[in-house]
Each structure stands twice: as C-alpha cells, then as structure tokens.
Chain A
C-alpha cells in the first residue's frame, strides 16, 4: 500500500453561490478535492457545472462561502492581501482566451509577472529568453500578440504562467479556442512541462479527449458536485455515472443508444472487452476462440492510448462454444468483460 503524499492542493467542503436577482444560486455544493504533487488533474463538466468557479477557488479569484482552501501547505483564506498576492505568484494560470496584453510585445507579456514580483531588470531578460525558448517562441519575442496564431498565443500564456516558477498551473479551458491540431501541440507542451518541471497541473475542460491525452486523474463535475473521480483509465473505460458516459461517448463520436439499436439483428450475446497496457497488443481473442470453440464477430472497436498507457476496447458478438470458460479465460488474462446483452 502506497503512502498518501501530502496534497499540493486540498479543498474541503467548498460551497459557493452567486446572487441572481434576489436569490442566491449555488455554483459549488460541497466540493472535496485532494490533488497530489506532480499530477495532472482534470476537472470535466458541461458548461454551468461550476468548473470555472471551482478552478478560481484554488487561487481565490473566487472566495468560497464556506470550506477550506489549502495550496502548497498555505491556508489561502488566512492570508492578508499582500500574503495572498505572494501566494498567487506561486500559482500560474492560463486562460481560454489567453488574456495577453495587446499593447505589449511577447517578451513584455512574459516579463509581466516578474515585474509584478519586483524582480530586478537584470534577472528578467535572461529568464524571459529562457521561457520563450522553452515554448518554442524565441523568434517571436518582439512581435505583438495580434501577429500570432491562437496556438502561439497560448504558448505565450504558458511561458508567462511559468515565469515565477510556480508549483501549480491552473488551466482554464486552455485549448477550447484552438483547432484540434493546435490543441494537440499545446497539450503536448503541458505534458512536457509536467514531466520536466514536476509541476502540478489542474485543468478544466468539457472535452474528454483533452482529459484522455494528458490527465492522470479526473473528476467529473455536475451541478456543483463531484459525481465521479479516479484515475483517467478507470473513469474513461468504465464510467459509472450517466454524465461521465456521455462525455466518453462524445469523445468517441458515438451514441450508445444508436449503437445498441444497430446490433438488434446480430445473433448471440454481446460483450464489451477492455484491454489495458501492453496486453492490448496480444493475440488473445484467437487463442480464446481456439480453446473454447467460441465464434465471435467484431462489431466495434478502438485501440488508443490514455496518456501513455495503451488500451483497447472491443464490442463483440459471441455464439456457440463454451462462453463461461471463455469469459473466465479472458478475465484470467486481465481483460475486463462486460455483458451488454
């Protein structure tokens, strides 16, 4: 049993509501969250689920009505104005719409947090050059944001967020304004920063694909509550809640209802097999068929990766042969078997 490290972010029973007219509408309803050092933690939810508010509670841009916020061992709510400003310098943040200063060059934008922190000019210039090189924008230092593409703007945002060497990076829908290819580039950069700097990353998104690519763990937020959380592979491959299933299916561009209706005329039983790790590449099905006399047809399937771990998920129809023996054999080999029909 692995000992639990001290979390770098710990939220306890966070409640937050906003005034709408004469009433208060709850946005967060009792959130508990522990995020460990060095992990990439995803928070997924539909718009209005409260994920944006939740992310802003972590650096206290939104003050919760009740509950405790601890980041890197500091009790943020207990700090005075100056203390909170210093704590925020150790928490980087990037935004959906980048929020760069249009009137300043790329280099000046990246220098801004260092200026805020009161670093000497002699220290700022080399640090900015180093940061721009890291995000691959050394050539663009003298340009203005308007002259950059969306992906480049987000790279500037990332360089700016890293300037003060924060322990935590908060990502507010960082790729939602980008096209798929650019999104991949930005997510790869985030993953790289996470591994190389050991930085803890918290990202909010409405796309399961973003979670699948970079996150270690994920929490699913619905109507201000965390309804499901765990390692991404577990949540992605075996979603328990309806809302989670919707996000997973959306990522695979399929509709569960349609799918089962399509197979109505397929004879025999329907199984969903889930393989994880290197096993995904083994010729397991053939062996099972040979040894148990089972006939199978593949109806749907997908082999991909969750972060670095390969996985496969097949929907198959089976008939004849010894089904219980086949199931036992599959389970023995570490395949997760789900009977759909």
Chain B
C-alpha cells in the first residue's frame, strides 16, 4: 500500500487539485455575483410581489429553465464560441470557468428565489407601511432575513460546481475529476481513482462544513 502511494505521481495530483480549486473559486465567485441579482429579480417580478411583472417573470423563468435543462457536458461544447469571447480561450481552467458559471448561475438564482420566498410576507408589508422603497426593502430587510437560506444555497451550489468541474476534462480543463477519468478509469490506475475521489470527498466535506458554520453564524431563531 505504502509503495503504491509512493509510486503515484503526486505532482500531477497536486496540480490537478490546484486546478480544481481555481475552477471552483472562479466559477463560484461569478456565479454568486450573477446569480444573486438574477434570483432577486425572479422573486420581485413574480405575481403578487413588489415589482410584479408576469411577462418578464415568464421570460426570465424560461431562460433559467432552458439553461438548467441542458446537460453540463453539452453546455461545455455549445458554449465554446461564447467562452472564446469572454475568456480568450476555450481550453484549460480559464476555458472551463465561463461554462461553469453559465451552468450554475440559473441553479443558484432559483435557490435564491426560493430563499426570498421563505421570508415572511409580513416583513415586506411592514417595510411598505414605513414608507420604504423597493430597493430599501430588498437591501435592508429581504436579503438580511434570507441570509442563512442564501448561504445554504451557496453551499449547495459550490458542491454542485465541484461535480461539474469533473466534466471539464472534455475541453481539457484539468482538475481532479479529469484526472480520475483519464488515469483512474481510462488507464485502469485504480489507486489514482481512489486518491482523487478521496480528495474530492474531502473538498465537498470542507465546503459543507464551512457552509453549515456560516448558516449557523447568521441564524437568529
């Protein structure tokens, strides 16, 4: 066992681990930045909400559903021209981030929409009765009240992104998942498979623990 671990190319694994972290970090950052406002708009445009606009809601909702229904592997390929445009390359870590963001943003936006729906309607009514504007109600009441649920949504999104990064090998994205497929599966190096999967598991565990800790920290019930 010990000999087996020694015989492995740890430099390769380290590099793949680093690539995974880069893809995850970059994609998560942009997903949160784009998904949060999209989720807030979905919530606000819905029937009976502050900016109720049924047609706009239907349009946004359709866009989100289309992106969510495409398998990620297909998204990777379909988006190559777009990726070239925004990242300058469709390969490697930089080439993987745009499709990861496009794949995860609608997912996160839906979760944010749900988190905001979970806020007691009475809070919005109280804000309106005090003469608050929609912007004030969103920033000063809805987002703080939904913060634990949004953090929990961000955790789920981060973990989903870890899964997506494994497929980035299709476009030469690299990362642990790619390593597991190329060496562990295609070259029958079971020990590489075991180690990479163990590392991915560790990453998911750490993300979940961090997320749970953040949720607890901001829950006041």
Residues of chain A having any CB pair with chain B under 8 Å: 59, 61, 84-89, 91, 93, 95, 97-104, 112-113, 115-117, 144-146, 160, 164, 170
Contacts and interface: CB of A to CB of B under 8 A. Distances in A.
B131 A146 contact: no
Interface residues of B, number: 21
B126 interface: yes
Interface of B: 120, 122-123, 125-133, 136, 140-141, 144-145, 147, 218, 220-221
Contact of B140 (A89, A115, A145, A146): A115
Looking at A91, A102, A115, which has the most chain B CB atoms within 10 Å of its CB? A102
Contacts of A102: 145, 220-221
A59 B131 CA distance: 10
A89 B133 CA distance: 12
Given A95-B125, A99-B126, A87 B218 contact: no
A154 to B, nearest CB: 13
B147 A89 contact: no
Contacts of A112: 127, 130, 140-141
Contacts of A95: 122, 125-126
B144 A104 contact: yes
B132 A103 contact: no
A146 B220 contact: yes
Contacts of A117: 131
A202 B127 CA distance: 19
A88 B145 contact: no
B132 A99 contact: no
B126 A88 contact: no
B130 A89 contact: yes
Contacts of A115: 136, 140
A57 to B, nearest CB: 13
Nearest to B141: A101
B129 A59 contact: yes
B16 to A, nearest CB: 40
Contacts of A99: 120, 122-123, 125-126
Contact of A97 (B122, B130, B141): B122
A262 B127 CA distance: 53
Nearest to A88: B131
A289 to B, nearest CB: 57
B123 A88 contact: no
A77 to B, nearest CB: 16
